[in-house]
Every structure is written in structure tokens, then in C-alpha cells.
Amino acid sequence: MDQIRIALIGYGNVGQAFARMLEKRREYIRETFDTDPVVTAICTRSKGGILQPAGAGGIDTARVTDDMFDKLIDAIKIIDFGEYDVMIELTPINIMTGMPATRHVERALQRGKHVITANKGPIAWAYRELRDKAEENGVQFLYEATVMDGVPVYNLTRETMMGCRITEVSGIFNATTNFILTEMEKGIDFEEAVEEGRRQGFVEADPAMDVDGWDAAAKLTALMNVLMDVQITPTEIDREGIGHITKEDLDAAAEQGKKIKLLCQGRMEEDGDTGILKPVGSVKPTLVDQDSLPAIMDATSSYVSIMTDLMGGVTVIEEPFEPEIDHTAYGVLSDLLRILNDTKIK
Ligand SMILES: NC(=O)c1ccc[n+]([C@@H]2O[C@H](COP(=O)([O-])OP(=O)(O)OC[C@H]3O[C@@H](n4cnc5c(N)ncnc54)[C@H](OP(=O)(O)O)[C@@H]3O)[C@@H](O)[C@H]2O)c1
């Protein structure tokens, strides 16, 4: 039986959830692809890395303990010298630079390794270069979990909407802000809504990147770069957060039969002077009718609408799921299954 060797760069919430899910589907993968998935390297920033020697059977991820990590083994050492077929990049996003994830992805592709990431940074900052590098090296670069977790957005368009030109993407991409607005509609104020989200475990200690619209801007950028084949960055998105929205604003909206939602929208627009089409993206609190699609997306639901030239629009909705982290882990697993399906690993 063949093996597919996996290096996990970043082993936090998503990395560990993915490792558990891989165990759950190990037999399925062996039976379906006649291939045994083995984790040959793991690393974190603070603990260092575990690098399996050549020929060893793979790391038992259910039994990883802190004393197995070597502080001298870091991400670059694993990416440049480790023995693996697929590098899975799961470090935290730096929305302002896309680093160090972009560097990790670039170096693994350069070595002719497949790459999967749940980190939006590389696609929001360097999609074209990375896509081209993957092509030059005959490997796959996949990122399904970067937007709407395990919901197939990139796979949907790539596999089933061939030949369509995507002219617009829109939706609600950030669950934290949607949850805060939903809670505030119930009459509590902003700080209390944030606290409730923290209590339920999905609002971060510092939610500024969500509240200020940066996370949504990075997701919109990632979607536009891939689906519309453009080259923009999160800083080019016309962005406004929800920090200034008050209970009174939501009450005033309700009196008009409306709600306020943090809507994302990206499309091509003709430049007034040159007539050349250019990508334009915005993330903004927007008044929407109470019976419209964005208005019924409560709490941690999100959706993306994709408009095409050949067959109009398609909308995909992500419903809340417990444990939520498994949704993301499935996005990563689905990319791995796609590589197994498409490629005979040597
Ligand atoms: N959590 C979600 O629901 C979700 C959903 C979609 C996408 N994502 C994306 O998935 C990625 C991982 O998220 P997460 O929730 O698993 O984050 P996390 O729990 O914070 O884990 C991040 C991991 O990366 C490690 N790390 C940080 N910098 C590193 C470096 N330079 N080299 C090697 N390892 C490094 C961390 O090590 P230390 O702990 O030692 O610092 C930790 O093991 C992020 O990009 C996130 O945006 C997450």
C-alpha cells in the first residue's frame, strides 16, 4: 500500500481537529485510495517540532506529548528538509502581511510538495504567485477551509461551474460580527454581546480583527483573487467595521422593517477614465430588508453568493455546526482527499 506523508505546520485548534478527523477516516482512505496517510512532522511556534526519521511509521497523533517536541526544529527546517508529500499550513493569519504562512507555502511548493492551507493570508496576499509556482512544480495548492470552513466554495466553482465567468461575490463572511449584531438586536449592548460570544467560545479575547472588518476583508480578497482571477490585497477593500453600531441604530432599522448586517461585496467595475475593468471590494454595515437572505442569517450562520455570466447566481449557506472546529477540519480533509483522488503520490 502507498503512503501519503503529511507535515503539519501549526498544531493548534485546527491542526489537532484535523488529526482527529484523519484518524476517524483512516480506514476509509486506505480502502478508497489504497494509500495510508501518515503524519511525519508536526510543529508549533513555542514547542518546536517533531520530525519523523525516514522509514518510521508516522507520528501517533493521539499520543503526542510536549516532551516529544524538539525546540531546535522549526517550520522552515521541516518544510525545507522534512520527508513529506503534503504540507498543511495551519499557523495563525497575519492579515496585514500574509506572513509567515506565505513563505511556508512558497518554500514547500518550490520543493515540489502539495500544499493545503486554512490560512487566508497566502491567498489574500500572494495567490497568483503561489498558484503559478504550484503549476510550475506540478503539484496542488488547495485552500478550501479559508472561507466558510468545510463548505465547498472553491471546489464548487472549480469542479461544477466550469466555463462560467464569475462577475460578483457577496455575502456575510464573518460569524463573530454576525453573532454580535444578532445579540444586540435582542437588546443587549455591544460589550455584553462580545462577552457572550467569548463565553460561548467563538469570539476571540481580542476581537478587533473581526469587529473592524479585517477578517471579512481578507476573506473577500481571497475569494475575489481566486474566483475572479484578480490581484488585490485586504488593504484595498473599502472597509468599515461594526464597532460604532449601537442598539439604537438596530432599533431604528427595525422600525423601518430592516436589519443591519456586515455585508461583503466584490465585483469588477469599469474605470471611468480608462474604461478598463478593475476589482472593487467593500465590507460595510448595510441596511437590509427583514425578509431578505442576509437578514435571516442569524448568529454564526454565513453565506456566499456567486454571480456568473452564463447562469446567474448561486448561493451557498454555512449552518452552525457543533463542534464548529470540525467544520474547518473537514475543509482541510476534503483538500487532502482531492489530492489523493487526483494524484498518484510517488
Ligand atoms: N479556528 C477556526 O475556526 C478557523 C477557521 C477557518 C480558518 N482558520 C485558520 O486556520 C489557521 C489555524 O487556526 P487555529 O485556530 O488552529 O489557530 P491556533 O489554535 O492559534 O493554532 C496555531 C498553531 O500555529 C502555531 N504557530 C504559530 N506561528 C508558527 C510558526 N511561525 N511556525 C510554526 N507554527 C506556528 C502555533 O504554535 P504556538 O501555539 O506555539 O504559538 C499553533 O500550534 C489560522 O490561519 C486560522 O485563521 C481557523
pLDDT tens-digit series, residues 265-313:
999 999 888 989 999 999 999 999 999 999 999 888 899 999 999 999 9
**Banded pLDDT at 345 (limits 50, 70, 90):** very low
**Banded pLDDT at 54 (limits 50, 70, 90):** low
From the CA of 100, give the closest atom in ligand 1.
Answer: 31
Q: Comparing C-alpha atoms, which of 110, 114, 113, 118 is closest to residue 89?
A: 118
Q: Is 12 in the pocket of ligand 1 (CB under 6 A)?
A: yes
- How many A from CA of 273 to the centre of ligand 1? 44
pLDDT score of 346 more than 60 = no
219 a catalytic residue: yes
Q: Is 145 in the pocket of ligand 1 (CB under 6 A)?
A: yes
Are the beta carbons of 75 and 100 closer than 8 angstroms?
Answer: yes
| CA 61 – CA 16 distance, rounded (Å) | 8
| CA 146 – CA 216 distance, rounded (Å) | 11
Q: What is the mean pLDDT of the chain?
A: 94
Q: Is 43 in the pocket of ligand 1 (CB under 6 A)?
A: yes
| CATH pick for 2-159+326-342 out of 3.40.1350.10, 1.10.20.10, 3.40.50.720, 3.30.1490.270 | 3.40.50.720
- How many A from CA of 10 to the centre of ligand 1? 5
Q: What CATH number should be reported for the domain whose range is 166-309?
A: 3.30.360.10
| CA 300 – CA 180 distance, rounded (Å) | 9
**Domain residue spans in the chain?**
2-159+326-342, 166-309
* Mean pLDDT in residue range 115-121: 97
**Banded pLDDT at 344 (limits 50, 70, 90):** low
The percent of residues above 90 in pLDDT, for the chain, comes to 87
pLDDT tens-digit series, residues 71-108:
999 999 999 999 999 999 999 999 999 999 999 999 99
The stretches of the chain forming alpha helices (DSSP H) are 13-24, 26-33, 75-81, 101-110, 121-136, 154-160, 175-185, 190-199, 208-211, 214-227, 247-255, 293-296, 324-342
Are the beta carbons of 237 and 224 closer than 8 angstroms?
Answer: no
Are the beta carbons of 70 and 48 closer than 8 angstroms?
Answer: yes
pLDDT score of 58 more than 80 = yes
Mutate to test the pocket of ligand 1, among 91, 203, 223, 321 (most ligand atoms within 8 A of CB): 91
From the CA of 46, give the closest atom in ligand 1.
Answer: 40
